[in-house]
Structure 1
């Protein structure tokens, strides 16, 4: 299993850095996770829009799903023929994005697979396990497993025992770390910082940690350092073109 980071900027794009966007691949199958602002263009450095086999969305905030629209546009209006795109998401998470194109041609361009809290299912060879994790809107943390290897991704969330359970023994924890070592009161419980993410990775016994969703301009070295006070495994920060073999 391979993870290619397309973006990772928190909330808004930064110069040269799209918002969330992660390409997860196994045996030629391409799963696009959380196509946020700017990720569709970044995707084209790695494959054609028509080559994406499925999309997984954790929650409805546009920095995690807005570029589903240009992705579908490229598949409908591009030269390459593309089969209907399976989209997996919590109930209602992509309704607003899909409503931007209320035409029959776009309705035929995707297959919507909505799931409920804590559902388990398969996407091709990936065993998929989800957990409802605390955020401002319903958010599905997810664990993708192939054989003995797994990638656990938080979406956006505050610290949670459910996340520790979901990520237990995971090969790689891809975790939202918007802040450095303190979450403002108005975001507490719904977003995380690098310090709390390091604690979660340790409690979950994750083999490797990748911090993502840092605010634009955040110092990556500081984020790694703070997380490293709580976690002694390898720590990276999500950036475009980071590729990790899991």
Structure 2
């Protein structure tokens, strides 16, 4: 089986990769955009005991998956942009919809941020806030007063994987972008399905498979 790990896909660019399937319906390979694993990395980065987070930045497919997963875990997801809030509302499971909130005054000490995260808005976060990116490229870091910024979604590679340095120049050595790890895991598991367009694979299943094959959260590297 041939797996193509998609990077820098967007709904406005190519339907999150689905354009390839429409153009080549007999494509003899699987397309994996890595949304499920990238979102799983973010969700599993939320500090234990956190009951609310602020979501800020351009609303991507990963951001939607993260928001839905956190709401299902009964974690309040605070959106400060009214347009983004209304965009996300229908994507949240009905039984968890009350956990998506619109507020300009969220004081949560965990912020999930992506590209386009407003530096001015970051200044409203409390001192000591932890910023967790959900984007492939690092968002602008606007705080230095005791706040911390995690790496973009990524995992450390197994010790058995040789000749690996860094996947992106902003990641530590032997750390690989979650989107790329997703393609490797997909191939190792032999999954016979695409992850592109609106499709998001089971996050818990993909996360467990990545751990099974020796990939680890960056904090455990």
Global fold match (TM > 0.5) = no
The answer to which structure has the higher helix fraction is 2
Please tell me the TM-score bracket, short chain as reference.
Answer: 0.3 to 0.5
TM-score (norm 2): 0.41
TM-score (norm 1): 0.38
